[in-house]
Amino acid sequence: MSSPTVGSHATNTELSDALPQRLSDLVSQVAERQADFPDLIIALSPLIDRGLELPTETALELSVALHEIEAEAREADALYQLVDQQTAPAIAVNRNAAVLALNAGARQLFNLNAGDNLTTLGVTANEFQTFQRRLAEVAGATLLKVTRPGTRELPMVMLGSYTHRYRAFVLTALQHHWPTAVDKALESLFRLTRSEREVLSCLAQGQTVEQIAQLRSSAISTVRQQIKSVLQKMGTSAQVQAATMAAAAANALTDARVGSDALRPDRDPLNMAYGECLREGRRIGWRRYGQPGGKPVVMLHGPFFGAGDFEAERVWAKRCELDVFALERPGYGRTELSPRGETMVDTVVSDARLLMDLQSIPEAVFLTHEIGLIPALALSVRHPERVTDILAVSAAPPFRALAQLTAMPPQQRIFIWAAQNTQWLVRLLIRLGMVRLRKLGPKRWMEAVFGEVPEDIAVLNRPDHQAGVIGTYSLITQQAGAGFEADLEMALSDWEHWLTESPAPLTLLHGTKNQTTRLEFVQLLTQMKPGVQLTAIEGCGQTLAIERPDVVYQALRPATKHCPEGNAEHLTTCGYR
């Protein structure tokens, strides 16, 4: 890339005069894709070439421009629009009960953040699956009972509907309301009999005990006993409270019914379990899927394909009897960034050891996507007894030659180039990149990363991958791209010695059509360390991890087990050699 030359006598102030008069306009144009990242790089190249910081006035102008376009991007974020339009506290969750988005009311009421799970609100996996079945059986909305964390208040009911566009459930808090229009929900949640539900409906309409007895041709004592039973089952202490709850919710339920899509009663979605722990006060999130009690696998995800978000991954993990623990890496999902003074590699190694200790996993095979290979190698060097094998999908070698960089698609190459030159430019590009992700939204975010690679876009756009794409969007946007900057720093660090010193057997799976890291460059890893096995998967690109989960998880299966639908002939056919 050419750039204007700057004389050695030029000062920082003089260089700032060479910048565009309306830098904010250029930044906005990049965010709107009316200009490209390289245009911004060329405009800033006088500073970059001399390794200077942004002049104060330019930095201030840039900061204001970024703040404005980031605010616009958040407003345009379709998932957040989905919940922000609700006047009551509202949450959007996926089929794994993970929180994708929430409005300010829900954040304040429940003390939740995106990436949390409904288990935080006392909702078990069975209860959430029952909730989904009710939505599949009955048109319109239904109810879900939750409990606010750290309170002993009455259980709260949320009105739940389904939106197919985002593969999400929208839960709206009906504080102190008990709708009567969904008999199945009331029966399931509180075990109310038909007679008790009819009595509650009458109370909601303002009828007295005497009027209810006359209407039902029952004795007053019978009605009073039924009301007492209703109050006990609902956990309320006053008749008027139960009546008010039901009456206030009736209209809300009627309104919500119109906006709910039909939910197909799909097969068992193989939900993940979500957990978190603390290390020296720092929050760490993790997920678990597959076959509980099966062969333990620790997964270190990459930046773009989630951590078990795609259902096919969970299906194959279970088929192959693998118990997968997916660690949310720092800057992604719920896991907070490294503490000051600790490198990203050190943080991930410590986080993985803590997770293994808490789950009583003495040793495990490690499944890594892309950048996740680096901390896995470091862990195997420092604690060889914990890592039995490493399976690396779509890994990249250390950046040794310019050819590796120039071979990458321009949209991806520019970030590596910036990281090699100046850190403030990396932060600028990542912030602009996150703006573009939010403006594209949860179904099209990948165009900001793979827009120049139609083969990978086609894989991500497959209908059976949409839920995973949306889940991944939530994972990578929750911390405004903080994980990307840490990943770039880790990728450009000196990590060759971990590869050469690692005692763990290493197998690489790589697509022959991977344009981000071409197969010829991955072969450098086998030259750096003889004995590394490289398996080329025909016809696959960077999206190998989600396009061929059958190949990935069969490679991890216990040696004494045989995966259903997996045999040598099948593996040869798909290119696994």
Task: Say how far apart CA 418 and CA 408 lie, in whole Å.
Answer: 14
* Class of domain 273-401+495-573 as given by CATH: alpha beta
Task: Say how far apart CA 114 and CA 108 lie, in whole Å.
Answer: 13
| Segment of 99-113, 194-208, 290-304, 418-432 carrying the highest mean pLDDT | 290-304
pLDDT digits (tens, 9 = 90+) for 462-473: 999 998 998 899
Task: Say how far apart CA 420 and CA 395 lie, in whole Å.
Answer: 19
Q: For tokens 């995973």, what's the residue?
A: 468
Task: Say how far apart CA 106 and CA 171 lie, in whole Å.
Answer: 10
Q: For tokens 């002049």, what's the residue?
A: 55
CB 1 within 8 A of CB 44: no
Tell me: pLDDT of 422 over 60: yes
Where are the domains positioned within the chain? 12-76, 79-258, 273-401+495-573
Helices 239-258 and 220-234, axial angle in degrees (round to 10): 70
CB 323 within 8 A of CB 293: yes
DSSP state of 338: P
pLDDT digits (tens, 9 = 90+) for 78-127: 777 788 777 678 999 988 898 988 887 788 788 888 888 999 899 998 99
Tell me: pLDDT of 200 over 90: no
Query: What is the pLDDT, as a whole number, of residue 1?
Result: 34
Phi, psi dihedrals of residue 420, rounded to the nearest 5°: -80, -15
pLDDT digits (tens, 9 = 90+) for 502-518: 999 999 999 999 988 88
- CA–CA distance from 35 to each of 15, 65, 437 (Å)? 22, 15, 16
- Of 2.60.40.2890, 3.30.450.20, 3.30.530.20, 3.30.43.10, which CATH number belongs to 79-258? 3.30.450.20
Query: What is the pLDDT, as a whole number, of residue 47?
Result: 63
For residues 210-224, one letter each, b for 16 or more C-beta atoms within 10 angstroms of the residue's C-beta and e for the rest, the string is eebbeeeebeeeebb
Task: Say how far apart CA 344 and CA 300 lie, in whole Å.
Answer: 13
pLDDT digits (tens, 9 = 90+) for 211-268: 888 878 889 889 888 888 888 887 766 665 566 555 555 545 544 444 566 666 554 4
Tell me: pLDDT of 459 over 70: yes
Prediction pTM value: 0.70
SS3 86: coil
Phi, psi dihedrals of residue 259, rounded to the nearest 5°: -90, 10
Tell me how far the alpha carbon of residue 570 is from its chain's centroid.
31
